[in-house]
Structure formats: structure tokens, C-alpha cells
Structure 1
Amino acid sequence: MIILFGENFELENIDFVKRSIPMNRQIMVRLLFFALLCLTIFHGSCTKEPFERNAGQSMQIAVIPKGTSNIFWQTVHAGALTAGKEFGVEILWSGPAVETNKEQQVSIVEDFIVRAVDGIVLAPQDAEAMVPSVERIAAANIPLVIMDSGINSDHYVSFAATDNYRGGVEGAREMARRLEQKGQVIIIGNDPGGASTNEREKGFRDTLEKEFPDIQLIGFEYHYNDRGKARAIMDDLLVRNPDTDGVFCSSESSSLGALLALQASKTTDRLVFIAFDSSPELVKALENGEIHAIINQDPFRIGYEGVKTLVRHLRGEAVEQKVDTGVFVVTKENMNEPEIEILLNPNLDSL
């Protein structure tokens, strides 16, 4: 039976139609029925029902980070796996080795679309460049949660991330506190396409302008997630601006590059250094007094909340449009407090 113009039309009635109309119109009618049958079959094959699985078969959630090589993303991975185990879903983790390979991230997204996973958690490398990929995820009817860094699209269920603007604000306030609200500072930024680091840099600049007019921003350069480039930028800025009083780095890689430059030139005691995101090298430098503060995220929670939020949505539960995973000012004075220590030394046993 085919439903045609709101009526139930039995296929056995075709003979009646054939007897009632000329031969050329019979051919047209047959073609019409054939086309309707094809359309019905095609529609059925394209309608995605991702949650109907055989007994014992779990949902598949793809988690796509910006990169996979540094400890931040390894910690995000651990959080995602923990949520997957807790909620009984399979986590498919795949991302570029480095955070600058946008083409590879696009390719990974396309692969998971073809595999028809039940949902995707994505940390976009670029807020604009990844929009076509996000649109294709939406067209494939695959629910999407964005994590860590924003996207210039509204085709997602929820956004699990640090309030990065606030991270920049806190960095500026800590810098001002240590400089007694006057001096000259520089910023080593990450990448003009990265929404998360852009927000940190903007928060830092805005706060200096609004709250601390006697602190002057005298230099700002992007290092494009290249630690060696960050080191070279730090060296160059110190030569060109020998009276620099402080440096703010908006990412782990820029912080590490700047640290290497200061250590090599034996000038770690020369200026106030505010880093962003932790690693074993940065934590050691904080303990040694070479770094004055680290603005820290909770990457474990970013991965955990990304998966948790998506699973709740897949199960038909209401979810928040934005999940704030927290921002923390870590100093030598508070680094051994339990809630801070776990951020600096995350448990990666699940990897």
C-alpha cells in the first residue's frame, strides 16, 4: 500500500486503472508508482535512527579534540573515557597530532559522519573554518556538543568549556596585583582563529584598559601553537622592549616557549610571568618561582561534561546550553591545596 495525496492506494488497484485509461497514460501511471516506491525506499534508508541498537551494543560517541600531543588534551581524553564508562557508551577518540592541522580535523569529522556515530563532541580548531563541518554534522542529523573552544554556528546541543574571557580577566588582575598596578606588559597570543585563546587575550586586554590604566600593553604577537616560535618571540620582545615588566601567555605552548627563552637568558627573575594551562614543566617553574601564576582550566571536566551532556541529550533529557567548567588562579601559595593539586597532576590511568 502507498499513501498518495493523503489516501491509501492499494497496488492491486493498478489493473483497474489500466483498464480505465489509454495505453500511453498507463505507462505514465506505472512510472508514477515506480517513482513513489523508490522515494519511499530512499526516505526509509536515509532516516537516521542512531539509538536503536541490538542488545548489548552501546552508543558510539566520537570525541574530536584540537590536538592529541599535549597533556591538556590527554586529560580531556581521560575525562571523556571516564564519562563513557560511567554512562555505558563507547568513546571513539580521534584528533590531529597538532592543533594547527585544520585539514586533518575536517577529515576526521567527515569520517565519523560516514560512520554514522550516535553523537559527536568537537573542539573546533578554528571558529570559522570548522563551520562547514559543523553544518554537515547537522545535515547528517548527528547531535553535536562543542567543547573547549567556540564555533560561529548555532548547530549544536551544548557548549562545555572554560569561561575563557574570565580567564583573561583573572590573568590581568593577578598581573596588576604583582606589578602594583603599573608597568609595561606583553602578550604572546596563540592563533587568530582560535576562539578560546582569543577570548583570553581579549579579557586580559579589556581588563587592563578598564581597571588598570597605568599598565601599558607594549607588545602582542601570535605564535601559532609553535613552542619554538613562542621562544623566538619572547627573545625578540625582550630585546626590543628591555623595560618590559610582565608577560601574559594565553596557552600552554606559548607559556612553555616563553619559559625556555627566560631560562636560557637567565632572566626569569626580571619580570612577572602569568602562564595559561599547566604541564609538568610549568608546574615545576611555578614551584621554583620562575612563573608567578598559572591560569588553569579543568580539562578533565571539559571532556567529562562534553560526553555527559551529549549522552543526556541522546536519552531525551534537557541539558544546559552552556556548561562552565571553571577557571582557577594557581600560585605557589595554593598549588598544594587538594582541589588545585588534582588540576596540576591529573589522573590519566584511564588512558
Structure 2
Amino acid sequence: MTAFTVRTAAAACVAAGFGFAASAQDTIRVGITQNNVGVDSYQTTYEQAFIEAAEADPAVEAVVLDAGGDVARQIGQMRDLIQQDVDVIVIWPTNGQAVVPVVRQAHQAGIPVVVTNSQIAEAGFDFIASFSGPNNITQGQYSAQMMCEALNGEGQIVQISGQPGYTTAIERQKGFEDELAASCPGVEILETQPGDWNREKSQRVMENFLTKYDDIDGVYSGDDNMGVGALNAAKAAGRDGIAFIGATNFAVGYEAMGRGEYWGSVYQSPVEDAKNALATAKAVAQGEDVPFLNYFDTPKITQSNMDEFSKPVF
């Protein structure tokens, strides 16, 4: 496995609450295993920001790992970090259900675990110290509200979801579908297919939708990377008048919004995501009180208010 180790000067730290104790001379050793850095620019930017934040903190030593989207590899990385006896583990789950047993192993070893970005299954909640990241249910709800507004409460749409089994994908889809049914029953979801967070696959999915359905008024995608793939398919097919709504506002989504081709999204910073995760892990290791659900803000962004936001760096 590939690892980047960030080492800094020694600083005092005290940890409590998960059977962990460190001497005052030790740094806080933070191990992180990520989902799949190479799959999109959000995760690449997140990793860079996490490393930079750790390098800037003299109290932190970080071991940075990437599972490459492989559940078995991530489980192995978790076990390796447990063997290294790090002070706290941050995990960006490849699969929220499959990682629960190894998260429990870390808990039993006295190592607190912080889940970042995408929550693990509820069965693992007793074994984690905190979740740091966006509220993905709320993001789905925001996207449904924007879709309802874009279509004036009526129409037929298709949905491109994220990676199957991945908590973020599940939660954004649930938030979107529940809010749409409650607030906008005049909008019908014709079909949902996964785009796996991949722009090219999402473009192919949209091509199939366009062949299958003569009337598509809107597209909801679990992130803007997939949303722009769908937009590209519609443009190539000459299908105009479709409202595209996404989440995790990528630079390509922001640019398409500026051209008037993309209706709205949810603004989410990978830099803030990474910094929040490291700060949460450090606080947990030092025995501080941390909210179990340590969310950071992810507001709606549309063509009408995009000037209030900086263009994403990913």
C-alpha cells in the first residue's frame, strides 16, 4: 500500500475517552485511510489539503493512506494503523457497512475513530467518536428544493446516483427523493441509474436515458462531476430545456452555471472538509468534547447567487 507520512515537531498532548493515553512528549499520531483519491478532483484536493494542514501543525504526525476504492484494501489499511498504534484514525469509508467490523476492532484496541465525508452504517455508530463532513441528507433535500423551483413544481426527471453501497450516494438519494415527494409531488422520477461518481459513465447513462425517454425536464445527479457528464450528453443530442441540478459544486459545474447551462448545486469545499476532519481528530485525541455529528455548512448555489461564491478549486 502507498502511504505518505507527515512528520512534525513534538508537542504536548493528552487523550482520553477511548482507553487511549499518551505521554506529554508525544505528538498526536493521526492515521487516515481514504476512499479513492484518484476517482475525482474533490478527493485529490481533499488529500492535498489534509496533508498541508498536518504539515502546518507542529502537534501532528499524519500517516496518509488511500484505499483506491477497494474495500478489502481499506480494511487492511485500518488493521495496519491499529498495529501501528496510532492515536486516532480517520476513515473515509469505501463502503459504510463493510468497514464496521474493522472500525469496531479499532475501538476495542482503544483507538478512537473519526469518520470523514461519508458516514458508516448505523451499526458502527457505537464504535466511532465523531463524524466530520457534510449533511448529505440535507444536501439531497436542498437539491430537491432547487429542482422543484426550476420546474415550477411539475415535470419528469431522471436521477444519476453515486456509487452503489456508498453512504454519501445513499443519503443524497434518500434526501432528494423524500423531499421531492413531500414538497413537489408533481415532479416524477422516471428512472435512477448509478454514475459511480464518474463523468464518462454518467454521460453514457444519460445517453441511454435520452434514447429511452422523449420528455425529460430535469436531471438530478449526486455530484456535479456526474451532472456535467449528463449535460454533455444532452448537448451532444441537441436536447435543450433540461434543468440540471447537482451537489458538491465542482469547477466544471460552476462554469456551466455561469454559461446558463446548469441550474444549481450545493457548494461544498474539500479544503474545509479536510481541515474539519483533522481538527476533529486532533480534538478527539486530546480528550475534548466533540459533537457526534460535526457537520460543516454546504449552502445552495444557483445561477442567481453564484457570484457570492468563489469558483471551486477542484
Same fold (TM over 0.5): yes
Partner of 2:183: 211
Distance 1:225 1:104, change over 3 A: farther
As a proportion of its length, which structure holds more helix?
Answer: 1
Q: Which of 1 and 2 has greater Rg?
A: 1
Shift of 1:78: 4.1
Runs of 4+ in 1 over 6 A off after TM superposition: none
Shift of 1:272: 0.2
Q: Within 2, Cα distance between the matches of 1:49 and 1:221?
A: 44
Shift of 1:87: 6.1
- TM-score with structure 2 setting the length: 0.85
Correspondence 1:80 to 2:69? no
Partner of 1:224: 196
Between the aligned residues of both structures, percent identity stands at 24
Q: 2:66 aligns with which of 80, 92, 95?
A: 95
Matches within 5 A, 1:100-115: 101-115=70-84
Shift of 1:264: 2.5
Partner of 1:22: none
Q: Within 1, Cα distance between the matches of 2:282 and 2:289?
A: 11
Correspondence 1:345 to 2:313? yes
Q: Which amino acid aligns with 1:148?
A: N
SS at structure 1 position matched to 2:307: coil
CA deviation map 1:61-80 (0-9, x unaligned): 11222111222123322443
Q: Within 2, Cα distance between the matches of 1:274 and 1:176?
A: 10
Shift of 1:193: 0.8
Shift of 1:226: 3.8
Correspondence 1:289 to 2:260? yes
Q: Which amino acid aligns with 1:345?
A: V
Report if the CA contact (8 A) 1:184-1:216 is conserved: yes
Distance 1:229 1:74, change over 3 A: closer
Q: Which amino acid aligns with 2:235?
A: Q
Correspondence 1:71 to 2:41? yes
Report if the CA contact (8 A) 2:20-2:110 is conserved: no
Report if the CA contact (8 A) 2:224-2:265 is conserved: no
In structure 1, runs of 5+ residues without a counterpart are 1-47, 347-351
Report if the CA contact (8 A) 1:176-1:212 is conserved: yes
Shift of 1:307: 1.4
Report if the CA contact (8 A) 2:224-2:252 is conserved: no
Distance 1:49 1:212, change over 3 A: closer
Shift of 1:312: 1.4
Q: Which amino acid aligns with 1:325?
A: F
CA deviation map 1:45-71 (0-9, x unaligned): xxx866227x4x522211222111222
In structure 2, runs of 5+ residues without a counterpart are 1-18
Distance 1:120 1:287, change over 3 A: same
Shift of 1:275: 1.6
Correspondence 1:159 to 2:131? yes
Give the root-mean-square deviation of aligned CA atoms: 2.1
Q: What is the count of residue pairs matched by the alignment? A: 291
Q: Within 2, Cα distance between the matches of 1:287 and 1:92?
A: 39
